[in-house]
Amino acid sequence: MAILFRVLLILILSDSLVSTRCLGVGINYGQIANNLPSPSRVAYLLKSLNISKVKLYDANPNVLTAFGNSNVEFVVGLGNEYLQKMTDPIQAQTWIQQHVLPYIFQTKITCFTVGNEVLTGNDTQLMSYLLPAMRTVYGALRGLGINKDVYVTTAHSTGILGNSFPPSAGVFRQDLAEYIQSILNFHSQTDSPFLINAYPFFAYKDNPDQVSLDYVLFQPNPGTTDPITNLKYDNMLYAQIDAVYAAIKAMGHTDIQVKVSETGWPSKGDPSEVGATLENARLYNSNLLSRVQQNQGTPAKPSVPIDVYVFALFNENLKPGPSSERNYGLYYPDGTPVYYIGLQGFLPRMDYAASNRNGLNFFHLLLFPVAFLLRTL
């Protein structure tokens, strides 16, 4: 019995030590699934991982309530289907009053993303709504006196770049220049960041014979040197970020920070999805977390630590598209890791989460690591 207790104590202490490594990184909490744990249980899981930044794709009231009085900062998404409505100041103010004000004093909402990857879609009318919607949402927040606490932005695919190599020669697509210039002016005026969804996985999948796997996975590799700046890059994500910085500078702005609102790697995919393996996903995310923990900046912005939201918390079984879309999660819906990257949290039982909101029972903490080990043996 004494030996068992010591083993359990070591497991608990080691779990606590490893989970602290994740401080500073954000996570995308998608919910396109029918088998996910309740938001109150997810709140416990993220607390155990010391993840303090979460990005949502909507203003789910159950999630915002479950995280009330926590230290978690939320990015709340307004889907593309809301853009036209959000150009109307009355509708924007009504939406915020109904979906934000009831929670904002207990749950830390720090950002709104108005639309997602709008400029790389095919709907030009939707593109025309994007900036007006951003301005109107910002105006509604200002009218309520909370614009200084919550910034407004939108998330872009790296497909908005017309050129990304070398990074210092990064430029936006010419056909999108008019939209992006106005959006950059908005960011400069409101001191808000420029968000990108960056996936080196896609670059490798599309050109596995030309793109080095080690380069996209942050593994040791010769790297590449920007011939203009002589800066060396040992991974693609940093090169993509700096290409966006260069494109922003080419449009006359040096006062806007670039943040990565999504990045990740699928643990499984269709036969045609080269590189979508569990081991590659483990390497990408564990190496990325290691860089984040070191407060690294990119070669062009060495003093600005990268700000990253990993995609995603769970595998989502109802997402459409290829198999990879349903296999980006760090965790299965039952709370066990898809692969081990130095983080180990706990997901309380359903009955426990519903009846105990003030802290985790010591006996339950003892049982979880043992259950996790038994599953993995």
Pairing of strands 194-197, 151-157: parallel
Q: Which amino acid is at 209?
A: D
Q: In whole angstroms, give the CA distance from residue 218 to residue 341.
A: 14
Computed on alpha carbons and rounded to an integer, the radius of gyration of the chain in Å comes to 21
Tell me if residue 299 falls in helix, strand or coil.
coil
Looking at the chain, list the stretches that DSSP marks H as alpha helix, in order from N- to C-terminal side. Answer: 2-19, 39-49, 61-66, 83-86, 89-99, 101-104, 124-143, 177-190, 200-206, 213-216, 236-250, 278-293, 350-355, 362-376
Which residues are catalytic, by number?
117, 262
Closest alpha carbon to 147 in 136, 135, 138, 134? 138
Determine the residue type at 324. S
- Euclidean distance between CA atoms 46 and 19, whole angstroms: 10
Residues 128, 151, 107: CA angle, nearest 5 degrees: 125
